[in-house]
Amino acid sequence: MILFNRGFMEKDDAIVDIEDRGYQFGDGVYEFIRVYDGVCFEMERHVQRLKLSALKIELALPYPLEDITRNLKQLVEKNGLLNGYIYAQITRGVAPRAHHFPGSASSVLVAYVQHAERPVEKTTHGIHAILTEDIRWKRCDIKSLNLLPNVLAKQLAKKHGCDEAIMHRGATVSEGSSSNVYMVEKNVIYTHPINNLILNGITRIGVLEMARENGFRVVEEAFTVNELLETEEVFITSTAMEICPVVQVDQTQIGSGQPGRVTRTLQQAFEHRIALNSGGN
């Protein structure tokens, strides 16, 4: 079952209009939400970010956020989803093709679920990443449907046998193609500050809370590619990859080439949060 505006229907019965502005212009926003043991993880933060992304592009929500939240939870139930994701997107709707906002179109919400296991292998052993120039626009804070630079960066990583592309604007590391990036040096965790150049990751918010709870100092300041390559630990975070160690960047081994101690500590704290989440709805 999928969610189409307010209604639930079979996936095969849903019809996307070829003049939907999401399809033609990427004119819309989305969220990707984790479900653990049948319970949505960080649901409130995800829907608040969806609302904020919509606001930033002057996109009206198709109906109130509380109802959207309730429908997304129902979608999980209707599909009997235990472990996986919700993908939800809102587009500016259907109108004859013209760049400016249409006068009459109504926003369209589409959401569906994907069954998926947790990325245990990668979070246990770590991944390799490549470096690539960040060629995106200057509103990366908006979780918009326009993902072509991210798609190209991820494909380049795949071509090199890597799982993530770490992007940089000039010398400065911004974020991954679908993750936030951190380095650890002498028990201090560094990550790019929240501004228009990165997405305010929901996993990032939680990880920085857990870092502080565990007594680590957090410095939200941009760091350079050279600093990244010489640091003790690197990790990425995202809804899909959770907290994932990066043990090699391009040809450079990071630290000992094994997941680092601080990364491990944060992963343990994260497990605790997932366990707590599974207790409620």
Q: Write out the two tokens for 160.
A: 């090199």
Q: Write out the two tokens for 123.
A: 């979070």
Tell me the residue length of the chain: 281
Measured CA to CA, the distance from residue 243 to residue 56 in angstroms comes to 28
Q: Write out the two tokens for 82.
A: 């235990």
Which region, judged by CB under 6 A, interacts with ligand PDD, from 73-81, 101-109, 197-205, 210-218? 197-205
274 binds ligand PDD per the rule CB under 6 A:
no
Q: Is 83 helix (H, G, I), strand (E, B) or coil?
A: coil
Choose, from 51, 56, 143, 158, the residue flagged as catalytic. Answer: 143
Give the x/- contact pattern for ligand PDD in 31-50, rule: CB under 6 A.
-x------------------
Query: Are the CB atoms for 246 and 258 separated by under 8 Å?
Result: no
231 binds ligand PDD per the rule CB under 6 A:
no
Measured CA to CA, the distance from residue 149 to residue 159 in angstroms comes to 15
Measured CA to CA, the distance from residue 122 to residue 248 in angstroms comes to 13
20 binds ligand PDD per the rule CB under 6 A:
no
Measured CA to CA, the distance from residue 45 to residue 68 in angstroms comes to 13
Site for ligand PDD in 117-176 (CB under 6 A): 150, 175
Q: Please say which residue, 72 or 95, places its beta carbon nearer to ligand PDD.
A: 72
Measured CA to CA, the distance from residue 21 to residue 266 in angstroms comes to 40
CB of 128 to ligand PDD, least distance (A): 19
CA 112 remoteness from chain centre: 16
The answer to whether 143 is a known catalytic residue is yes
Residue from the set 1, 61, 188, 240 that interacts with ligand PDD by CB under 6 A:
240
Kindly state the helix (H) or strand (E) to which residue 246 belongs, with its residue range. Answer: strand 242-249
Q: Is 272 helix (H, G, I), strand (E, B) or coil?
A: helix
Q: Write out the two tokens for 267.
A: 């992963």
Q: Please say which residue, 105 or 166, places its beta carbon nearer to ligand PDD.
A: 166
CB of 164 to ligand PDD, least distance (A): 10
CB of 96 to ligand PDD, least distance (A): 30
Measured CA to CA, the distance from residue 190 to residue 178 in angstroms comes to 18
CB of 68 to ligand PDD, least distance (A): 17
CB of 241 to ligand PDD, least distance (A): 8
What interhelical angle do 43-56 and 202-213 show, nearest 10?
Answer: 130
201 binds ligand PDD per the rule CB under 6 A:
yes
Residue from the set 71, 79, 178, 263 that interacts with ligand PDD by CB under 6 A:
178
Site for ligand PDD in 202-221 (CB under 6 A): 202-204
CB of 261 to ligand PDD, least distance (A): 22
53 binds ligand PDD per the rule CB under 6 A:
no
Q: Is 94 helix (H, G, I), strand (E, B) or coil?
A: strand
Which residues of the chain form contacts with ligand PDD (CB under 6 A)? 32, 150, 175, 178-180, 199, 201-204, 237-240
Q: Report the catalytic residues.
A: 143
